[in-house]
């Protein structure tokens, strides 16, 4: 069995290609990135993880290092996940404590097929520089991106440390040793008591490429939480999708007109009638209802009972900013948290409400009816709470 993989990623900001051989010895690696410290840390993973890694990357480092670090980690994580294959016989779990002078790091890895990062580093990660303009915050971004695309669980704890370079290097070395242990082949079967839940092939998500939406932002967030994303305007593709995200901003009438013009409305109805899951976001959420009273009266998709009306409270519209949302039920979120809103209108007279917020009076913030979900806020702009909600939708079956 050969445990190797090649992956690549090209965006407006970066171009990254990576090859990994999990059964190498770490001495045959070739790492070429425009970020010296990043190249050094990947070499640490290769040598201490006993993995041969080839990485070639270019990026917009004249702006900062963020895009390059993030995309290299996404490509490496995906390559590791592909190379692990069905994980037959691997130990799956690994952990390590590694010191470097005053620093001591502990990292635990689980190749579970579930993307999750815990990063407990009790220092000011935004302000502390490791080297020149490489902030410690990028260390967390690296492991978050790797965990999401592998996908796997990674728990990072900096037990002690004051020097940013020492702390970061101790973390990467501990990760490498934990990875080396977790990837070892020790048996013949898949080490899981719940293989269906812990499958590595996360559900494919179809994102409707609406011109009346900020598709790039929500696509980035969905990929960050591990979605195997397909962005499309093709009605037949959407009609046959199993999991769909309908984004939207701006005018309800314009968004609905585009859906009708390209038969996307019919495709969405066909998909949901066949059992597809659907998540509407912001105006995409409003489109789920019977009718909107924005700029006259415009029929919606009619998938949920209700109408869309302008806020009539004392506060100025649109509502722009963070607002606390209280969830009563549902698989996407529990409890309450702050989410980011930009809206002048909200759903009213609905019977599928699962969350409320208040803006000069209570309004519907989220709905669910069977496999159809809608959120008035922008999860892609709502930090960890929004990513948690999107991750739950991606993984929900």
Domain CATH number, residue 125: 3.30.230.40
User: Do 223 and 357 share a structural domain?
Assistant: yes
Question: Has residue 198 been placed in a domain?
Answer: no
Q: What is the CATH number of the domain that holds 230?
A: 3.40.50.880
User: Do 224 and 142 share a structural domain?
Assistant: no
Of the three residues 127, 149, 182, the one that is the final residue of a domain is 182
User: Do 274 and 167 share a structural domain?
Assistant: no
Q: What is the pLDDT along the chain (397 residues), one digit of tens a residue?
A: 579 999 999 999 999 999 999 999 998 899 999 999 999 999 999 999 999 999 999 998 888 888 999 999 999 999 999 999 888 889 999 999 999 999 999 999 999 888 899 999 887 654 466 766 688 889 999 999 999 999 999 999 999 988 888 999 999 999 999 999 999 987 655 555 554 444 434 468 999 999 988 898 899 899 888 888 899 999 999 999 999 999 999 899 999 999 999 999 999 999 999 999 999 999 999 999 999 999 899 999 999 999 999 999 899 999 999 999 999 877 888 778 899 999 999 999 999 999 999 999 999 999 999 999 999 999 999 988 899 899 889 987 6
DSSP labels, 158-173: EEE-S-HHHHHHHHHH
Question: Has residue 214 been placed in a domain?
Answer: yes
User: Do 210 and 174 share a structural domain?
Assistant: no
Question: Has residue 217 been placed in a domain?
Answer: yes
User: Do 37 and 178 share a structural domain?
Assistant: yes
Question: Has residue 305 been placed in a domain?
Answer: yes
Of the three residues 182, 212, 229, the one that is the final residue of a domain is 182
Question: Has residue 190 been placed in a domain?
Answer: no
User: Do 239 and 279 share a structural domain?
Assistant: yes
Question: Has residue 192 been placed in a domain?
Answer: no
User: Do 309 and 279 share a structural domain?
Assistant: yes
Question: Has residue 191 been placed in a domain?
Answer: no
User: Do 366 and 303 share a structural domain?
Assistant: yes
User: Do 97 and 221 share a structural domain?
Assistant: no
Question: Has residue 292 been placed in a domain?
Answer: yes
Whole-structure pTM value: 0.54
Start-end of H helices in the chain: 36-49, 66-84, 137-149, 164-182, 215-224, 235-239, 252-261, 264-273, 283-286, 383-395
User: Do 263 and 378 share a structural domain?
Assistant: yes
Please choose, from the candidates 326, 346, 348, the residue with its C-alpha nearest in 3D space to the C-alpha of residue 336: 326
End-to-end CA distance of the chain: 32
User: Do 380 and 244 share a structural domain?
Assistant: yes
The pLDDT assigned to 88 comes to 81
Q: Rounded distance, CA 86 to CA 303, Å?
A: 38
The pLDDT assigned to 196 comes to 45
Domain that holds residue 310: 204-395
Q: What residues pair up with 109 in beta bridges, in sequence order?
A: 94, 154
User: Do 208 and 136 share a structural domain?
Assistant: no
Of the three residues 130, 150, 182, the one that is the final residue of a domain is 182
Could you tell me whether strands 289-292 and 243-246 are parallel, antiparallel, or unpaired per DSSP bridges?
A: unpaired
Contact 200, 113 (CB under 8 A): yes
Q: How many domains are contained in the chain? A: 2
């Amino acid at each position: 069995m050969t445990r190797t993989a090649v992956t690549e990623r090209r965006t407006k900001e970066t171009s990254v290609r990576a090859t990994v051989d999990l059964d190498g010895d770490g001495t045959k690696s070739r790492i070429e990135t425009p970020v010296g410290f990043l190249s050094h840390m990947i070499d640490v993973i290769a040598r201490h993880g006993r993995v041969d890694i080839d990485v070639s990357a270019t990026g917009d480092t004249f702006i900062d290092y963020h895009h390059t670090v993030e995309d290299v980690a996404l490509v490496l994580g995906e390559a590791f996940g592909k190379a692990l294959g069905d994980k037959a016989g691997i130990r799956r779990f690994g952990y390590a404590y590694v010191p470097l002078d005053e620093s001591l790091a502990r990292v635990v890895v689980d190749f579970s097929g579930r993307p999750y990062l815990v990063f407990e580093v009790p220092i000011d990660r935004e302000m502390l520089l490791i080297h020149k303009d490489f902030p410690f915050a990028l260390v967390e971004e690296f492991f978050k991106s790797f965990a999401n695309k592998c996908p796997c669980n990674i728990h990072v704890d900096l037990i002690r440390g004051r020097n940013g370079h020492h702390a970061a290097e101790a973390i990467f070395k501990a990760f490498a040793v934990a990875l080396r242990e977790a990837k070892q082949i020790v048996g013949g079967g898949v080490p899981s008591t719940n293989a269906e839940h812990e499958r590595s092939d996360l559900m494919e998500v179809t994102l409707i490429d609406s011109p009346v939406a900020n598709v790039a932002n929500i696509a980035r967030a969905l990929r960050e939480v591990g979605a195997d994303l397909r962005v499309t305007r093709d009605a037949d593709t959407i009609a046959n999708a199993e999991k769909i995200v309908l984004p939207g901003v701006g005018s309800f009438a314009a968004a609905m007109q585009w859906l009708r013009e390209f038969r996307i409305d019919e495709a969405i109805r066909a998909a949901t009638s066949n059992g597809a899951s659907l998540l509407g976001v912001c105006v995409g959420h409003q489109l789920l209802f019977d009718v909107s009273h924005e700029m006259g009266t415009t029929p919606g998709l009619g998938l949920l009972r209700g109408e869309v009306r302008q806020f009539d409270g004392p506060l100025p519209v649109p509502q722009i900013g963070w607002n606390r949302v209280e969830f009563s039920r549902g698989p996407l979120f529990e409890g309450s948290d702050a989410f980011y809103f930009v809206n002048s209108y909200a759903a009213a007279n609905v019977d599928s409400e699962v969350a409320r917020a208040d803006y000069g009076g209570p309004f519907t913030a989220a709905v669910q009816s069977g496999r159809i979900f809608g959120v008035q806020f922008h999860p892609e702009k709502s930090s960890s709470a929004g990513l948690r909600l999107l991750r739950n939708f991606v993984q929900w079956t």
